[in-house]
Amino acid sequence: MTVTLDLDNGLGLALLRCGRDGRQEYNKRECSTRALASAGADVTSETVRFPAGSAPLLNDQWVLSLSHSGPWLTVGAARVNRRRTCLGVDVERYKARDFDGIGRFLAWPSRSRNEAHFYRRWTLAEALFKATGVEARRWFETLDGAAASAATSRIRVDALGWSWRVWWPALVANACVCLVLGVEQ
């Protein structure tokens, strides 16, 4: 099963149900190609590369982010338009977890102990870390606060010289996916 979404002009997402088996490289390449195609990239003339310790790469016009959880693999793709752009994606399958303990460890308020809030916050934190590295905490409070008051599964926040867009698309019943795109203004 593969789901692809064209979230916005130049922004795409693909989710693939697969295992972590001998086909892992093929699955990463297939999911990356589908995410790029859903974002509008011409993927017929170039090959996605997977450097060790780095995000997948197509060329200097696209940024990619990849995440695994259980049987799920997801890849986000975004076009870079002459501005610093960062992208992060995270997928977490629902399973029994110590919501209270993890929430306390991360110093989250008690509202994160609700399963739906927990997974939205968890995937937001992971996607931000993938997008920004050590700067993730700098943005988390601002985006998390906006998400808590949002009535939809999409938010936009302009802060500290960056424009952030965050999506939690409902792709499957047993996992939460979060895509974060930051563009320097």
DSSP states along 95-121 = ----HHHHHHHTT--GGGGSHHHHHHH
Measured in whole angstroms, the distance separating CA 136 from the mean position of its chain's CA atoms is 13
Tell me what pLDDT residue 20 has. Answer: 61
Task: Of 78, 69, 63, 60, give the one whose Cα is nearest residue 13.
Answer: 78
Tell me what pLDDT residue 8 has. Answer: 77
Residue 26 or residue 109, greater confidence: 26
For the cut 60, the answer to whether the pLDDT of residue 174 exceeds it is yes
pTM for the full predicted model: 0.87
For the cut 80, the answer to whether the pLDDT of residue 77 exceeds it is yes
Tell me what pLDDT residue 105 has. Answer: 76
For the cut 80, the answer to whether the pLDDT of residue 66 exceeds it is yes
pLDDT (tens digit per residue) in 86-117: 899 999 999 888 887 877 777 776 655 577 78
Ramachandran angles phi, psi of 111, nearest 5°: -60, -20
Contact 94, 119 (CB under 8 A): yes
131 burial type by CB count under 10 A (0-12 exposed, 13-18 middle, 19+ buried): buried
Residue 185 or residue 60, greater confidence: 185
Q: What is the CA radius of gyration of the chain?
A: 16
**Domain residue spans in the chain?**
2-184
List, in order, residues 6 or more apart from 97 with CB less than 8 Å away: 118
Task: Of 184, 182, 179, give the one whose Cα is nearest residue 89.
Answer: 179
Q: Among the residues of 40-183, which ranges form H helices?
A: 99-105, 115-132, 136-149
**Tokens coding 126:** 């992971």
pLDDT (tens digit per residue) in 112-171: 557 778 888 889 999 999 998 777 777 888 888 888 888 788 899 998 889 999 999 988
Task: Read off the pLDDT band of 27 (50, 70, 90).
Answer: confident
Ramachandran angles phi, psi of 108, nearest 5°: -85, 145
Amino acid identity, position 111: R
Q: Cβ of 124: how many Cβ atoms within 10 Å? A: 25
Q: How far is it, in rounded angstroms, from Cα 5 to Cα 152?
A: 17
Rounded to the nearest integer, the mean pLDDT of the chain is 83
- Reduce the DSSP state of residue 165 to 3 states and report it: strand
For the cut 90, the answer to whether the pLDDT of residue 56 exceeds it is no
Amino acid identity, position 161: G
